[in-house]
Every structure is written in C-alpha cells, then in structure tokens.
Amino acid sequence: MTWKGSANCRFIIIVQVVAAMFALITIAVQGYFLLKRKSHGTSVPLLFTGLYTVSFTFILVSSCILSAGFKEYCDSWLQSLGERDLNCRAVQRIQWSKASSIKGDRFYDVLSTAQTATWISFSVWMMLPLVAWAGVRFVTNRRHQEPTSDIPT
C-alpha cells in the first residue's frame, strides 16, 4: 500500500487555516464598522459575501475529500488484510512493520478527529450568516430606539 494523499492533506489544512484567518479578518472589520457606527457602503459587504461563498465552498469540498479519503483508506487496509470481521479502529491496533515508512498506530483516531473537525467547521460556517444577521439586527435596533426619559411627564 502506498501513500498518495499528501496533496489532499495539505489542501485540507490550507483551506481550514485560510478560512480561519478570513473569519478573524471579517470579524475584525465588521466589528470596527459596528463599533464606530460607520457605514461601509456596499462594496465591503459584497466583497465579504463573495469571499465567504468561496471559503464556504472550499470547506465543503475539503470535508468531502477527507471523508471520502478516510473511507477509501480504511477500506484499502481491510481489503489488504483480507479480514471481514475487522473494522478500521481494530486495524490501527495491529503490529505495524518496522520497515514501513507509514506509522499507522493511531491513524483511525487521527483521521476520525480530523474528519469531525472539518464537518464542525462546515457547520460553523453554515451558522455564521445567521449570527451575523442577528448581530446586525441587534445593533440596528439599539440605534433606532427612542431615548427614554427617567423624568415622568
């Protein structure tokens, strides 16, 4: 069995890191405009909407790549061992060859954690528009409230 998925691993890591940096930049920019009560026109929201869509799409693709690759990797190990009663969690406990360049003693735990993390990231990115909308509505409603007086009339 040969390992050919290093490019896919790098892609998944790069997508998640770039998306996290983009999210932090977006939060900083939107927070600045909300706190300073400045309008940023229509170009900034359109730019962020476009970048958000691209980021969201890449996160979905990277999550699918990781899930499909994880399944294919597990299936190939099960097929090479010829055991029908084993599952991938059990495969990581077998004695790995000292001559092999692949250390597989924790591959199932690491890959299942990575898969869970990418799908959690995808879920968070799905909720971001709702959170942003709620935050904008909250700030907008607070700005347009009538000032109340403590003096009875």
Between helix 6-36 and helix 43-81 the angle, nearest 10°, is 150
If we measure between CA atoms, which residue out of 94, 125, 93 comes closest to residue 18? 125
Say how many Å lie between the first and final Cα of the chain, rounded.
Answer: 84
Mean pLDDT of residues grouped by 10 in the chain (153 residues)?
Answer: 64 88 83 69 70 88 90 83 76 67 75 91 84 69 59 58
Residue 12: per-residue pLDDT: 86
Is the CB of residue 1 less than 8 Å from the CB of residue 81?
Answer: no
Note if the pTM is more than 0.75: no
pLDDT value for 140: 66
